[in-house]
Amino acid sequence: MSNNMFCFQCEQTAGCGGCTGKVGVCGKNADVAKLQDELTGVLIGLARASDGHQTTSSTHKAMIEGLFMTLTNVNFNEEAILSQIETVRREREALIPGCSSCASACGRNDEYDMTRLWTDDGDIRSLKSLILFGLKGVAAYAYHALVLGYSDEEVNNFFYEGLFAVGEDWNMEQLLPVVMKVGEVNLKCMELLDKANTETYGHPIPTEVSLAVERGPFIVISGHDLRDLQLLLEQTEGKGINIYTHGEMLPAHAYPELKKYSHLKGNFGTAWQNQQKEFDNLPAPVLFTTNCLMPPKESYTDRVFTTEVVSYPGVVHIGEEKDFTPVIEKALELGGFDTDREFTGINGGKTVTTGFGHNTVLSAAGTVIDAVKAGALKHIFLVGGCDGARPGRNYYTEFVKQTPKNSIILTLACGKYRFNDLDLGEIDGLPRIMDMGQCNDAYSAIKVAIALSEAFGCGVNELPLSMVLSWYEQKAVCILLTLLHLGIKNIYLGPTLPAFISANVLDILVKNYNISPISTPEKDLEKILAR
């Protein structure tokens, strides 16, 4: 292993094996990577200290923020990570005051050296990585819920339990149940987040979203945090500034409490990995609320703003006071486009439609069931997940294009940008492409699948339903573990299998769940439809 860095938590890791140089594929440098490892080790120390001691809301916040900060494309700022390390250490000290100065070391609060994990036996490293990366994904969902005032003690307590396991010298038999529990707890966490979003902003309703940008000042807001969007809309109301979503913020247009703002105009750009091209020469500021931030090019660094746990050196950060005045002033200074501009999705479409959450889809369950029974609807595909820059992700575009006309495509997360601007027509009044939201909204897809299985009186695996998923970062990992927890089989996963999955662990997943790597759209469709 290189002395510079080691990281293999995302799909695009170098050589499908691990980033080991001075800079990772995501853009984080070796110093940031090492600090993120240190933060993870400190969090394991906090988990150890929590054993037998009463954690608090402050402890939970430090744990959730710390894990989220280490997720891919979130934080590139050494100072911010160092500050979080000290916050976690203070929380540990609060749990076990005076323990750090004890002359009789017992190991209760020891921090963990992550090089032990990266150099461990391949199968042990694989299972511990599944736990750790899954926990990072769960933490992201827990964070979004917490921002809206929603929390769950079972979810919070599992962060300590899971990280404690990562720091122990356990065998495969001891680690496998923890891996599966990550999926179980994540289901509860996604349900919590769904409740937080819908009770705060209402149930999403199908909404057509323009990809054009009107003349005049505007702000682009990216990420996942709906509360930041709400606050930005409130602070820009009446100021002659339009707001456009980007990336995973697209589903915000479907929430009734956000739709009421007339200056929430449309969506700019496509998926996260295109931002360096799409933001270049953009006459407007961009506000990142969470991931996925790429290192900004020099040409637009002065127009990028961050908030919450996302941070980048040299970029203006909006703190807890949530005063977006610097963003607003930059928008007015830049002035926007001098004429209305027309943009398209990657397939030439001028609009996209979102808002097919579980409330909407289940309200049409009777139509779906009738269409299946009448033979008008033969198959449902869930094609969703993360997008990324690695060659081969056009697979998902071609797959959707080639799906039979008597099938429906449910989709979510930024992987949908590969095809969400396509017009594939309707079946009995139902659009063939239904965007269920962000990766945060995977709960909707799970709830729909379970409801349909109950309606047809069969198991989910017996439904005419196939899941074709793309992954990039750790939120996709915990969603996959949730699907496995629910016993869902025959999942197609791409564009590559995770580098942290060892041959023996993969064999377990294949034997128990029949997970298949994607091949070609033609071959996979033939195999799926022959079932």
Q: How confident is the model at residue 395, as a pLDDT?
A: 97
Block residue for tokens 């990657």 = 346
List, for residues 373-406, the tens digit of each pLDDT value: 999 999 999 999 999 988 889 999 999 999 999 9
Reduced 3-state DSSP string for 92-137: HHHHCCCHHHCCCCCCCCCCCCCHHHHCCCHHHHHHHHHHHHHHHH
Please state which of the ranges 67-71, 122-126, 388-392, 455-459 shows the lowest mean pLDDT. 388-392
Q: Is the Cβ–Cβ distance between 476 and 9 less than 8 Å?
A: no
- Is the pLDDT assigned to residue 126 strictly greater than 70? yes
Architecture of domain 355-529: 3-Layer(aba) Sandwich (3.40)
**Average pLDDT score over residue span 362-372:** 92
- Is the pLDDT assigned to residue 139 strictly greater than 50? yes
Indicate if 207-334 has the same CATH topology as 14-170: no
User: Cβ neighbours of residue 332 under 8 Å, at least 6 residues apart?
Assistant: 217, 239, 241
The fold for domain 14-170 equals Substrate Binding Domain Of Dnak; Chain:A; Domain 2 (1.20.1270)
The overall average pLDDT reported for the chain is 95
CATH code linked to domain 207-334: 3.40.50.2030
**Band (243; pLDDT cuts 50, 70, 90):** very high
Quick one: DSSP state of residue 227? Answer: H
User: Cβ neighbours of residue 105 under 8 Å, at least 6 residues apart?
Assistant: none
Residues in the chain: 531
Per-domain boundaries in the chain: 14-170, 207-334, 355-529
List, for residues 271-289, the tens digit of each pLDDT value: 999 999 999 999 999 999 9
Where do the H-state alpha helices sit in 267-319? Answer: 275-278
**Average pLDDT score over residue span 234-261:** 97
Block residue for tokens 């799970």 = 446
- Is the pLDDT assigned to residue 460 strictly greater than 80? yes
Q: How confident is the model at residue 390, as a pLDDT?
A: 84
**Band (290; pLDDT cuts 50, 70, 90):** confident
Q: How confident is the model at residue 284, as a pLDDT?
A: 98
**Average pLDDT score over residue span 352-362:** 96
**Average pLDDT score over residue span 309-325:** 97
- Is the pLDDT assigned to residue 517 strictly greater than 70? yes
**Band (519; pLDDT cuts 50, 70, 90):** very high
